[in-house]
Amino acid sequence: MPAGALYRADPRFAALGPEFADPVTPAAFPEQTLCFRNDRAAASVGLDGLTDLEWLDAFARFKPLPRNQPQPLAMRYHGHQFRTYNPDLGDGRGFLYAQLREAGTDRLLDLGAKGSGKTPWSRTADGRLTLKGGVREVLAAEMLEALGVPTSRAFSLIETGESLTRGDEPSPTRSAVLTRLSHSHIRFGTFQRLAYIERPDLLEILIGHALEAYHPDRQGAAGLLAAAVDRTAALTARWMAAGFVHGVLNTDNMNITGESFDYGPWRFLPRSDPAFTAAYFDHSGLYAFGRQPDAAFWNLRQLAASLTPVAGQDELIEILNGFETAYVRELVAAMLRRLGVKPQGAEADATLVSAAFKALAAGGEGLGWEPFFFDWFCGPASVGRAALSPRAAIYAGEEGRAFSDLILAREPERPERLADSYFGRAGPETMLIDEVEAIWAPIAANDDWSAFNAKVLAVRGAGRAWNLDV
């Protein structure tokens, strides 16, 4: 299979040996219909030059990429699911397909499958993914990337011609296989498993691998935890600034590079609501929007506990105690980034961010989460836009005035971004659940992908306008 000049295979995880993953054979799908290929992501790893037939060979049949893994690997891990420990986890409907270097950054990246068939960890499940689930994951990843949130990227979505029965959507339903490009699939639960089976020798091997591959500036188990604390604090803060609710923050759904992935019952906030939940089965609101920082910290504590066989407990506790400070710092930075204004100092910045959250809450149902940031982007440079906004009357309220007084005293960050035609619209690009259902409906009824394709393009246009990662 041909690959471009930027393609650099580097299959590091496979070298750890059979204690960490199981070789598996991909499912033989009766059909392979290409629904989505992310050429932007593919260009970053030298695979954008593949023809559609070569693409299907790689991401529907999973033929080995050049000089990469000879066979997919179902990774072994455990995890807490809604805070109940489950030792029967592992890649049950996916696998690590390949590892390669990202052009420009030299980061080690994974190509991982979802819906690729049964593995030793499937238990009674069929190892498949619904097409609707694949569509939802593409849309979530695209929106998060546009909003500057560290996220896996949906790389490929292929319909596979099987009919699936699912209890949470009309059945039978169509099937698909998704491939994601991620910084790492090593989860908190990967370490938990080794502590559970009492293999400190393997724990040391995994820690060494993770440090070399992802955190070469850190040392030992304490260094790995410190990196995870910093990255998780930044990730959680950006979720909160984006108004994103992951829905299932189990320890097997959090990785050591601080990048979110595996989007199931996700939601974006329609408006400010700390109690908003994404998963219909989250009856207690454990993973509600406002509880995500607590969930992230709880998960970090479980990671730290799994490292105690090879590290000093007091040192790990001290590192954990830094999470709150790191999270607050990252939340302020994320909110300033979303508002498009320059920092003024820790106290003043915290005051502005607090005022923003109060204004969002006071706006109630009339003030959407995303429209608020759209109206006030770059602060004083958008005062005219905010005054002409359909939401202008809301900003005239007490909390709205308190916020506007503060942000109008700020210096805009790169106000030239407002010249993009995106900011001439009446409102922003959003990804609310009703929109997602409206995108899916014509696919389900008529195999009409026009709304899906248009939405991907529109979200990418919004991302270019925001330009939040510079």
pLDDT exceeds 90 at position 469:
no
pLDDT of residue 7: 97
CA-to-CA distance for 194 and 185, rounded, in angstroms?
16
Instruction: Identify whether the C-beta of residue 188 lies closer than 8 Å to the C-beta of residue 251.
Output: yes
> In this model, does residue 419 exceed pLDDT 90?
yes
Angle between helices 220-242 and 292-307 in degrees, nearest 10: 170
Predicted pLDDT at 265: 94
Average pLDDT over residues 348-360: 98
- The pLDDT mean for the chain works out to 96
Query: Positive or negative CA dihedral for 404, 407, 412, 418?
Result: negative
Residue 252: active-site member: yes
Q: Which two tokens stand for residue 149?
A: 């949130």
- Dump pLDDT digits (tens) for 393-410: 999 999 999 999 999 999
3-state secondary structure the chain: CCCCCCCCECCCHHHHCCCCEEECCCCCCCCCEEEEECHHHHHCCCCCCCCHHHHHHHHCCCCCCCCCCCCCEEECCCEEECCEEECCCCCCCEEEEEEEECCCCCCEEEEEEECCCCCCCCCCCCCCEEHHHHHHHHHHHHHHHHCCCCECEEEEEEEEEEEECCCCCCCCEEEEEEEEEECCCCEHHHHHHHHHCCCHHHHHHHHHHHHHHHCCCCCHHHHHHHHHHHHHHHHHHHHHHHCEECCCCCHHHCECCCCECCCCCCEECCECCCCCCCCCCCCCCCCCHHHHHHHHHHHHHHHHHHHHHHCCHHHHHHHHCCHHHHHHHHHHHHHHHHHCECCCCHHHHHHHHHHHHHHHHHCHHHCEHHHHHHHHCCHHHHHHHHHHCCCHHHHCCHHHHHHHHHHCCCCECCHHHHHCHHHHCCCCCCCCHHHHHHHHHHHHHHCCCHHHHHHHHHHHHHHHHHCCCC
The rounded distance, in Å, linking the Cα atoms of 217 and 303 is 20
Per-residue pLDDT at 44 exceeds 70: yes
- Give the C-alpha separation, 48 to 222, whole Å: 39
Predicted confidence (pLDDT) per residue in 71-82, tens digit: 999 999 999 999
pLDDT at 124: 86
Tell me the pLDDT tens digit for each residue of 176-212.
Answer: 999 999 999 999 999 999 999 999 999 999 999 999 9
For residues 426 and 373, the answer to whether their CB atoms sit within 8 Å is no
Whole-number pLDDT of residue 383 = 94
Joined together, the tokens standing for residue 267 give: 């939601």
Q: Check pLDDT > 60 for residue 129.
A: yes
pLDDT greater at residue 262 or residue 4: 262
Percentage of residues in the chain having pLDDT higher than 70 = 99
Residue in 252, 282, 349, 375 annotated catalytic: 252
pLDDT digits (tens, 9 = 90+) for 3-25: 788 999 999 999 999 999 999 99
| Confidence at 168, pLDDT banded by 50, 70, 90 | confident
Q: Is the pLDDT of residue 125 over 80?
A: yes
Does 470 score more than 60 pLDDT?
no
Write out pLDDT tens, residues 267-320. Answer: 999 999 999 999 999 999 999 999 999 999 999 999 999 999 999 999 999 999
Radius of gyration of the chain (CA): 22
Name residues whose C-beta falls within 8 Å of residue 237's C-beta, 6 or more positions apart in sequence. 327, 330, 331, 333, 334
Domain regions of the chain by residue span: 13-185, 189-331, 340-466
Cα angle 14, 17, 19; round to 5: 120
Categorize the per-residue pLDDT at 166 as very low, low, confident or very high, splitting at 50, 70 and 90: confident
Q: Is the pLDDT of residue 442 over 90?
A: yes
